Amino acid sequence: MRILVTGGAGFIGSEFVRSVLSADAKSGITVLDKITYSGVEENLAPVARHPGYTFVRGDICDTDTVDAVMPGHDAVVHFAAESHVDRSIDGAAPFAETNMVGTQVLLDAARRHGVGRFVHVSTDEVYGSISRGSWTEESPLAPNSPYSASKAGSDLLALACHRTHGQDVVVTRCSNNYGCHQFPEKVIPLFTTRLIEGKKVPLYGDGGNVRDWLHVSDHCRAIELVLRGGRAGEVYHIGGGREITNKELTGMLLEAAGHGWEMVQQVPDRRGHDRRYSLDITKIQRELGYRPRISFAEGLAATVAWYRDNRAWWEPLKARAALS
């Protein structure tokens, strides 16, 4: 199978590309990535010599580029997105453009060129916030941030292509990911790198917001299951790592770094901050046999160690993005 992977130089996309290519000498992947502030082509260095690997720098919103790249692929796995909620609060335009227009350009081109399966990678944030219980794939969408609204819009565009054109589209919605190569603006690498630098970490509000954390490799394995066995026109939840509050997470990161609570600075809450996310993952377990493999304690320890050992990866990124 030859797969077009959009956003393959980012955190999750690069894990997907590395894992598919390193498992199979015969598979082929073309990465289409604009290399925005969060894209890092060196994330793909371990597979750069794989005979089936091709890298194209380009924008998913540009129809000519997408039309040139699309032919010859059997499937699209679509990761490319503007992905950081705080940035979407500062300015929503790139989120509407990349997440919605870019998705529409890709869907149309895939149809035009007769590409089969289209896996649209999305997020639990499209459902908004839930105080008790868990969302099923039938729960209504109620996004609260410009990021999640733009992802919800792209999910609906993808599903509409199945209903209107019979296109072979599948949507995945995953909980919060963590692991190595995550851009250091997201909470786990942000807190970890700040503690390594001896700086305080900014905790939003009362720290009571609950997130389900899933290791990026469990997410990518689930995407492969959906790519090969998911039913067209369906949504699949991916999650089941561990639900914890941001305060509990902060405590674990402080302990890993050998620091106490004096390193925490409470900051005003994020505008529109969702209180809790929770996904019911029964469907993917029952239909595709998915189970997360990496415990949060084990995965978090490995992630913190990776950031400790790879300052040369994140220091230039922080400088480039003017992150303190």
Active site members: 124-125, 147
Q: Residues 19-58 vs ligand NAD: string with x where CB under 6 A?
A: --------------xxxx-xx-------------------
When asked if residue 296 is in the footprint of ligand NAD (CB under 6 A), the reply is no
When asked if residue 60 is in the footprint of ligand NAD (CB under 6 A), the reply is yes
Q: Pick the closest to residue 255 from 195, 182, 193 (CA basis).
A: 195
- Compute the Cα dihedral for 142, 147, 153, 157 and give only its sign: negative
Region 113-132 residues binding ligand NAD, contact defined as CB under 6 A:
121, 123
Contact criterion met (CB below 8 Å) for 303 and 179? yes
The one among 3, 4, 5, 11 contacting ligand NAD by CB under 6 A: 11
When asked if residue 174 is in the footprint of ligand NAD (CB under 6 A), the reply is yes
When asked if residue 12 is in the footprint of ligand NAD (CB under 6 A), the reply is yes
Q: Total number of residues binding ligand NAD (CB under 6 A)? A: 30
Q: Which is nearer to ligand NAD, 253 or 259 (CB)?
A: 253
CB of residue 196 vs ligand NAD: minimum separation in angstroms?
20
The one among 7, 184, 189, 239 contacting ligand NAD by CB under 6 A: 7
CB of residue 187 vs ligand NAD: minimum separation in angstroms?
10
CB of residue 174 vs ligand NAD: minimum separation in angstroms?
4
Q: Pick the closest to residue 85 from 187, 155, 171 (CA basis).
A: 187
DSSP letters for 85-108: HHHHHH--HHHIIIIIIIHHHHHH
Q: Which range in 173-181, 263-271, 281-289, 306-314 contacts ligand NAD by CB under 6 A?
A: 173-181
Contacts of 14 (CB under 8 A, 6+ apart): 8, 40, 43, 44, 181
Please state, in angstroms and as integers, the Cα–Cα distance from residue 24 to each residue in 92, 154, 219, following that order.
39, 31, 19
Q: Which range in 6-14, 107-115, 159-167, 187-195 contacts ligand NAD by CB under 6 A?
A: 6-14
Region 84-103 residues binding ligand NAD, contact defined as CB under 6 A:
98, 102
Please state, in angstroms and as integers, the Cα–Cα distance from residue 89 to each residue in 51, 83, 86, 148, 292, following that order.
41, 12, 5, 11, 32
In a 13 Å sphere around the CA of 37, the CA atoms on its Cβ side amount to 15
Q: Report how far apart the first and last C-alpha atoms of the chain are (Å, whole number).
A: 42
CB of residue 216 vs ligand NAD: minimum separation in angstroms?
8
When asked if residue 241 is in the footprint of ligand NAD (CB under 6 A), the reply is no
Q: Which is nearer to ligand NAD, 4 or 257 (CB)?
A: 4
Contact criterion met (CB below 8 Å) for 118 and 6? no
> Strand order in 210-215's β-sheet?
176-178, 210-215, 242-245
Task: Please name every residue paired with 177 in a beta bridge, in sequence order, or none if there are none.
Answer: 214
CB of residue 107 vs ligand NAD: minimum separation in angstroms?
14
Tokens of 13: 């996309």
Q: Which range in 132-140, 169-177, 189-197, 255-263 contacts ligand NAD by CB under 6 A?
A: 169-177
CB of residue 188 vs ligand NAD: minimum separation in angstroms?
10
* Three-state secondary-structure class, residue 181: coil
Can you give the binding site for ligand NAD, defined by CB under 6 A?
6-7, 9-13, 33-36, 38-39, 59-61, 79-83, 98, 102, 121, 123, 151, 174, 176-177, 183
